[in-house]
Structure 1
Amino acid sequence: MDANPFWDFSLAIYRRPGVPACCLALQDRRGVDVNLLLFAAWAGLDCGVRLSADDLARIDGAVAGWREEVVRPLRTLRRRAKAEDDELYRRMKAAELEAERVQQDRLFAAGGVSRQSGGNVDFAAANMALLVPGGDPALDELVGLLAGS
């Protein structure tokens, strides 16, 4: 897939100070798929789309196999290599990033949403909250960081 505004959004958002820490805290503490979390944010913030739990389940279903069979094993290998070999760590990090790009292309295709005016942080917050039942301080912080866009 050549053009994926969701991927562009994710790269821009993830470069913001504090965003990676929030996303990784939600991933490690709550088992949240960061790519799905970013998709929920993008749909609300850039596309003005309020997703339902059923929407997110359908979209997640389109990438669950890829995440379980490719992304998570690469993440495990990268984390293991970090303490052992810098070159292998660098290669695993690049492979994991490429696998996440593929996952985001699939999320973009499955999501069926596109950029339009009217997006806002409230939609993004509501979408992301569906992925974090009961809330989490990292989610609250992430919403605050997105509000600065």
Structure 2
Amino acid sequence: MLEHDNPFWRFSLRLYGIERIKHACLRLQDECQANVNLLLFAIWAAQQHLRFLPDRAHQQPQLEAWHQDYTCILRRQRRQLKVLADKGEPDEKEGLLHQMKQLIAEAELLSEKQEQAMLYFHYRQRQGLTPCEDRQAALIENLARCLAADSSPDPETLHILLTVVLDDAEAAEASMRIIEFLAHARPEAP
């Protein structure tokens, strides 16, 4: 049974409530195809001294399916409705399109809460995770595994997320290590 109100969910609410963290997560989502829930889980798991296994995604296929089939679709609908509502009802914040956008935003949040409950279940089962004494190494590898291998994340955006756990100098070094990790993970061009 999934626990929807769990320590990871509460951690995520606190962390995502910090404006700079929220913007960093959204930027990585939009520019590097990152799942924000996985980014938050990467940080939380590292704090628990856990590292993502390279085949974590294969051990958690239902998580990716849920993310694609529900969360991403709801997000796309919400964004499209926002554009339509702003064009069609710019001065009418209570108009039908704005109301629809709000309802879809609420459904999107519930979908993300479901994803987080799935991640917490995997944490409790230790699926896709392995102990790691070096919290910084776990954080670097976890965050790198959340980003598309062919992406080029902005070092400053990574730095913002890394300062949740690391001091400023460590975060600067770690952001460069993530970029190097991704560069080595990229397939060679033919």
TM range (shorter): 0.7 to 0.9
Structure 2: which amino acid aligns with 1:53? Answer: P
2:16 corresponds to which residue? 14
Q: Distance in 1 between matches of 2:102 and 2:70?
A: 17
Extract unaligned runs of 5+ from structure 1: none
1:48 corresponds to which residue? 49
1:37 corresponds to which residue? 39
Q: Distance in 1 between matches of 2:4 and 2:65?
A: 22
Q: TM-score, normalised by structure 1?
A: 0.82
Q: Distance in 1 between matches of 2:4 and 2:78?
A: 27
Return the offset for 1:88. 1.4
Moved over 6 A (4+): none
2:181 corresponds to which residue? none
Structure 1: which amino acid aligns with 2:65? Answer: G
Q: Comparing both chains, which one has the higher relative contact order based on Cα–Cα distances under 8 Å and sequence gaps of 6 or more?
A: 1
What percentage of residue pairs aligned between the two structures are identical?
28
2:103 corresponds to which residue? 91
**Of 139, 143, 146, the match for 2:162:** 143
Structure 2: which amino acid aligns with 1:10? Answer: S
Structure 1: which amino acid aligns with 2:67? Answer: R
Q: TM-score, normalised by structure 2?
A: 0.66
| Paired positions, count | 143
Tell me how large the CA RMSD over aligned residues is: 2.4
Structure 1 or 2, whichever has the larger Rg, is 2
Q: Distance in 1 between matches of 2:16 and 2:134?
A: 19
CA 5–29 in structure 1, closer or farther in 2 if over 3 Å, else same: same
CA 57–40 in structure 1, closer or farther in 2 if over 3 Å, else same: farther
**Of 125, 131, 139, the match for 2:146:** 131
Return the offset for 1:121. 5.2
Structure 1: which amino acid aligns with 2:25? Answer: C
Q: Distance in 1 between matches of 2:98 and 2:165?
A: 33
Structure 1: which amino acid aligns with 2:153? Answer: D
Give the 5 Å matches for 1:74-89: 74-83=74-83, 84=85, 85-89=97-101
